[in-house]
Amino acid sequence: MADPAKRVGLFVTCLVDLIRPSVGFAAVKLLEDAGCSVAVPLQSCCGQPAFNSGDRRTARAVAEQVIEAFAPYDYVVAPSGSCAGMLKVHYPELFQGDPNWQPRADAFAAKTWELVSFLVDVLGVARVDASFEGTATYHDSCSGLRELGVRVQPRRLLGTVRGLALKEMRDADVCCGFGGTFCVKYPEISDAIVGKKAADVSATGAELLIAGDLGCLMNMAGKLQRDGKPVEVRHVAEVLAGMTAGPAIGVAAQRTEP
């Protein structure tokens, strides 16, 4: 049933690739359910760590590699606002004024989308076939929210998940303190910021915390777990794809052997 006009190259993101592949498979399911054919070209990272550390040369080298790897596809979709923001907003910045690369970066940016925004804004997906019994709260990751305008789309689709009640936390749009390399360079400040976020999450009484970026999710899950707060943490793609049977982030798999 794949529409030849919707060949999607999945930019899986380095964190999903390494830490939580199930988010990638959830993204594939959502895209395939919406009629896309999905391919995964060989990839590593979007180059954001270099870009945000001031190493423009490495960032450009990585960007060139990504643009070339995804050239065959009609769309590039990433289950992350941060990485999609890098591809869509910052790649064109990196090549500004370069007669060879700027047009390629612009064309690449035009076909690149954050997963949930792609489903809703491009494909017109209005509902998903998934269920989750319980109350959830949604954190707006910064890049998705402010660089790509991802705010209503995930809430709209989450609203169609059977059994799921969405309860907004205070300051849902305030940073969780992850910030990529920031959390390693300034761990104490990062911890203070995520401490407030964890408190806001807990205050909702929700059983499930959802967001669209694995970096933020790992940060918030790590804090909630260290503080002994019993909140499950999952990527929005897992919930929308109905793939919540497996363990949540940072939770051990049920062991079947004796």
Among 5, 21, 131, 152, binds other proteins (CB under 8 A): 21
How many angstroms separate the CA atoms of 173 and 175, rounded? 7
Measured over the CA atoms of residue 60, residue 67, residue 215 and residue 121, the dihedral's sign is: positive
Residue ranges in the chain assigned as alpha helix (H): 14-18, 21-33, 48-52, 56-69, 81-85, 91-94, 101-110, 115-117, 142-148, 152-158, 182-185, 187-203, 214-226, 236-240
Give whichever of 222 and 242 is closer to other proteins, judged by the CB atom: 222
Whether 69 contacts 133, CB under 8 Å: no
Whether 153 contacts 120, CB under 8 Å: yes
Please give the size of the binding site for other proteins, defined by CB under 8 A: 70
Whether 8 contacts 36, CB under 8 Å: yes
Piece of the chain touching other proteins by CB under 8 A; list 115-123, 138-146, 149-157, 201-209? 138-146
Q: Does 18 bind other proteins (CB under 8 A)?
A: yes
Among 8, 9, 11, 22, binds other proteins (CB under 8 A): 22
Q: Does 226 bind other proteins (CB under 8 A)?
A: yes
Q: Does 182 bind other proteins (CB under 8 A)?
A: yes
Among 8, 30, 31, 43, binds other proteins (CB under 8 A): 43
Residue 134 forms beta bridges with which residues? Answer: 164
Q: Does 180 bind other proteins (CB under 8 A)?
A: yes
Give whichever of 122 and 186 is closer to other proteins, judged by the CB atom: 186
How many angstroms separate the CA atoms of 86 and 82, rounded? 6
Q: Does 5 bind other proteins (CB under 8 A)?
A: no
Question: Residue 213 CB, nearest distance to other proteins (Å)?
Answer: 12
Joined tokens for residue 78: 């990433």
Interface residue list for other proteins (CB under 8 A): 12, 14, 16-22, 24-25, 40, 42-45, 47, 49-56, 58, 61-62, 65, 69, 93, 142-143, 146-147, 173-175, 177-195, 218-219, 221-223, 225-226, 247, 249-253
